[in-house]
Amino acid sequence: MDTRKVQVTGGSTFTVSIPKGWATDNGIEAGTEVAFYPEGESLLLSPRRGDAVVEGSVDIGDLYGRDLTRAVVTMYVSGFDVIRLETTKISAGQRRSVRDATQGLVGLEVVEETGERVVLQDLLDSGQLSVHNAVTRMRLIATTMLADAVSALIEDDDDLAADVVERDDDVDRLWFMVSRVFRSTLRNPGAAAEIGLGREACFDYHSSARQLERIGDHAVKIARIALDLGEIPEDVSAVLDEFHEESVAVVEEAMDAFLEDDRNRATRLANEAREDVNAIDEHTRTADENIRSLDDAHQAQFLGLVVDSLSRTADYGGNIAETALQKAAPRP
């Protein structure tokens, strides 16, 4: 750690020198402009890069299917504005994988395509991104997916179950966008200024978004079970329906706490959500007992997985409540 003394020049101007080693490593010399970003009691300094585009290249010669899709997603989340995918000859299957990846990522489009190269570019201005809106949208989609998945299971509705599985792409698309923005704010304080959120706030939104993304995954898990199972006993349906209502109530209350501006009210709601998580443990045991009493062992096994998913949903709500408590806590 380097320390510097603040000096006064000209009778009214505060000045402080910057470490020469850091300046040299970042290409800063006499006449170079730097940017200052106030963040609470801190003042962040960064080389002013203007509207520099961050480019990256990937050799996709050995990448196919999910591996190729994952590579594109990784580059996107890592913050690259332009992604060049190159090999000696791009196959039709690779092109399909690239198209599938771009369709699942906000703002990413194919801007150039040849036999040896596909170039992707993020065409969305960072200033147009709203992490707050993305997370509130994730909340709606994830909780609705969960409700529909449980309904599909109880009502033996395969069409509804299949629709839940398809909607998971919407949650993932928003999750990747939030992750991209969050990582950008870690590297560049200017990114946080553009979206109007401090880096600590971005971390809180990112943490909550992760929990919502997991809830969406468990909704898909329940929907897939609904597709495999037929009708289930009415008494078990009633237990699962009630369990779902209690689990999702924790998530809703926790999200209300997280989005609440009044710190006292946010703290109260978050604590109530945490208490509700503890109460759900007893209902989990009751649901398990009802399911173990079923004569059909195959059905009992899969319904046990449903109970586990609903229990985990409540736990994820508890995690959001913890984030809400930290967000509402007094600042040191």
* Residue 111 three-state SS: strand
Topology of 129-328 in CATH? Methane Monooxygenase Hydroxylase; Chain G, domain 1 (1.20.58)
Q: Please check whether residue 325 is in contact with residue 207, taking contact to mean a CB–CB distance below 8 angstroms.
A: no
Backbone angles phi, psi at 271, to 5 degrees: -65, -40
- Predicted local distance difference test score (pLDDT) of residue 48: 65
Own/partner pairs, 64-67, CB within 8 angstroms, 24+ separation? 64/91, 64/93, 64/94, 64/97, 65/93, 65/97, 66/97
Q: What is the rounded CA–CA span in Å between residue 278 and residue 273?
A: 9
Task: Walk along the chain (332 residues) and give the pLDDT tens digit of each residue.
Answer: 677 777 777 767 778 778 877 777 777 877 777 777 776 667 776 776 655 678 899 999 889 999 999 999 999 998 888 999 999 899 999 999 999 899 889 889 999 999 889 999 988 776 567 899 999 999 999 999 999 999 999 999 999 999 999 999 999 999 999 999 898 888 776 766 677 778 888 999 999 999 999 999 999 999 999 998 888 888 888 888 989 999 999 999 999 999 999 999 999 999 999 999 988 877 787 777 777 777 677 778 888 899 999 999 999 999 999 999 999 988 76
Q: What is the pTM of this model?
A: 0.84
What's the pLDDT at 65? 92
Compute the distance between CA of residue 271 and CA of residue 265 in angstroms, rounded to an integer: 10
Alpha carbon separation from 177 to 75, 130, 214, 327 (Å, rounded): 12, 10, 15, 22
Question: Tell me, what amino acid is at 35?
Answer: A
Tell which residue, 149, 126, 167, 120, has the closest CA to residue 218: 149
In this prediction, residue 127 carries a pLDDT of 59
Domain ranges, ordered by start, for the chain: 7-47, 55-126, 129-328
Reported residue count of the chain is 332
Pair 273, 208: CB distance under 8 Å: no
- Return phi, psi of residue 58, to 5°: -135, 130
- Which DSSP string corresponds to 268-313? HHHHHHHHHHHHHHHHHHHHHHHHHT-S-HHHHHHHHHHHHHHHHH
Where do the DSSP E strands lie in the chain? 7-9, 13-15, 34-39, 42-47, 55-59, 82-86, 108-113, 117-122
CATH number of 55-126: 3.30.110
Q: What is the pLDDT of residue 142?
A: 97
What is the reported pLDDT for 332?
67
Q: What pLDDT was estimated at residue 128?
A: 64
pLDDT of residue 295: 67
